[in-house]
Structure 1
């Protein structure tokens, strides 16, 4: 899993560097907005990976999925982690995003906190 993240994060960062950061007013992009975009991409990739790890460690998840097929479990896991990837960044500040873009250790802490705050709500949402 870590090897995949190690490959995907630099790739995502490289691809987001090509994305236009101009606003609708036509003003030049700021360094902060580009850094925030890079940070957000890195955060979302890391959140998805962390979500899978955290989800599989929850005893209730382990019990709930015992009778599911591998496909059913994967589909629900994808739904939950997709929810977490979308909602968790709302718990991250602009400063955190900038920090995450340049500091892997800080990124791990930021991701862990964001996933922890979000995963239970997404599990409940997916199970309903």
Structure 2
């Protein structure tokens, strides 16, 4: 049921963007639809990043060592801060085409999330550990 909802909701938003564009110019409607697709792609990507980030961190040897000297609340705080940072840096790590694919294709979303996490998690973890 959740998988169906994850597919139907973005599609409904995409279709409603086409219907409610409101402009008479084709260029205006196309731009609005592209903007909506980009927003959907970024939202889908952030959800995928949030879901995968903690599991990716737990696999990292540096995190395994650092987390041994932390309480569980400290670990959760650093993980939350790190994954938030990764989500915030995602727009700089992806193209518009990647976002469009992420909005429509769950496999592309997972692959893109993995790539973004790999590129940014180390620097974000370093920032979170400093604070």
Residue number in structure 1 paired with 2:25: none
Displacement of 1:63 in angstroms is 1.1
Q: Which runs of structure 1 show a deviation greater than 2 angstroms over 4 or more consecutive aligned residues?
A: 5-14, 16-19
Determine the structure 1 residue equivalent to 2:96. Answer: 94
Give the C-alpha shift of residue 11 in structure 1: 9.3
User: Structure 2 regions of 5+ residues with no counterpart?
Assistant: 23-27
Q: Tell me if structure 1 keeps the 8 A contact 2:10–2:104.
A: no
**Count of residue pairs brought into register by the alignment:** 121
Q: In proportion to residue count, which structure has more helix? A: 2
Pick from 28, 32, 35 the counterpart of residue 33 of structure 1. Answer: 35
Normalising to structure 1: TM-score of the pair?
Answer: 0.78
Partner of 2:54: 52
Matched with 2:77 is 75
Structure 1: gaps of 5 or more residues? none
TM-score of the pair, normalised by structure 2: 0.77
Aligned-residue Cα RMSD (Å) equals 3.0
